[in-house]
Amino acid sequence: MSRKTIINALVLSIAILSAIASSIGILSNKNEGPGNIISVRGEKVILYGKGVYHHMSAQVAPQGIAQDYVTLFIAIPLLIISLLLNNKGSVRGKILLAGTLGYFLVTYLFFTMMAMYNQLFLLWVVNLALSFYGFILVFTSLNNDEVSFQKELPVKFIGGFLMFCALAITFLWLSVIIPPFLNNSIPAAVEHYTTLVVQALDLSILLPASFISGWLLFTRKSYGYIIAPVYTVFLSILMLALTAKIIAMGILGYNIIPVVYIISTFTIVTIVCLVIVVLKLNNKNYHEITRAF
């Protein structure tokens, strides 16, 4: 079985299963109760109480639903489009596919590690496995011979932003973690969950990856021209999901100022970087592919 066949099977399976999982997350609203609990740390936690996310807190569950919307209406269509482009031999398609698979990988890593156990658990696990192996297959197929850019690619701007973004979010998470640590208390964000899963994965994996990819591109290292574009695709979708989460919190009446302005700005700049990367990529098949669509 060829690599292309395997990738097609993996991606189509991810699209179908993610559509099912996201739709259930959005549409399920059965009142499960109870409204609140006392955590093992003795703190009162208000539960969402509805649908498959009923055991999650009232602050976190709406964020999961907001991400389900982004996955269903943005990430899945982009996944299919990038697969079609990749099958046509488009380098742009391959980079878009790798970055989008990275989004699904991280999304279902977060869901399986943080979300309270529910009926979607096996779907999340399968999607995590499919996106992991799909990402590995697509990413490892990229090479410097096929990935090339026009000379005017603003590597300082894109690479600098990826590094700045990594440092800014690192300091944000440290501001959440360090004060309670010094006071020998528990961060409020832990609620009734086991630990700060998002912060742990960000600080250990995603933010270092952002900084390293930015640095490699900033210094014009050859591998930076592969890693940074893929990370930019991934980050663009993830930032859209984060923006959707913040807006969902605002709709529920939580104070989202000034974070909504900060994250929205980061999202816009990330998408600008993505557009620049896509337009500056040298791709001999690009015009032929667009005509086919």
At 261 the pLDDT is 92
Give me the average pLDDT of each 10-residue run along the chain (293 residues).
94 98 95 79 88 93 96 98 95 96 98 94 98 97 83 91 97 94 90 92 97 97 94 98 96 90 95 94 55 40
Enclosing domain of residue 142: 3-292
At 289 the pLDDT is 37
At 132 the pLDDT is 98
What DSSP element (H or E) covers 281?
none
The dihedral built from the CA positions of residue 240, 246, 249 and 253, taken in this order, carries a sign that is: negative
Q: Say how many domains are in the chain.
A: 1
pTM for the structure as a whole: 0.94
CB neighbour list of residue 33: distance below 8 Å, 6 or more residues apart? 49, 54
Q: Tokens 């399986």 sit at which residue?
A: 112
At 258 the pLDDT is 87
At 144 the pLDDT is 79
d(CA 238, CA 244): 10
At 291 the pLDDT is 45
Taking alpha carbons only, the member of 111, 116, 94, 118 closest to residue 11 is 94
At 293 the pLDDT is 36
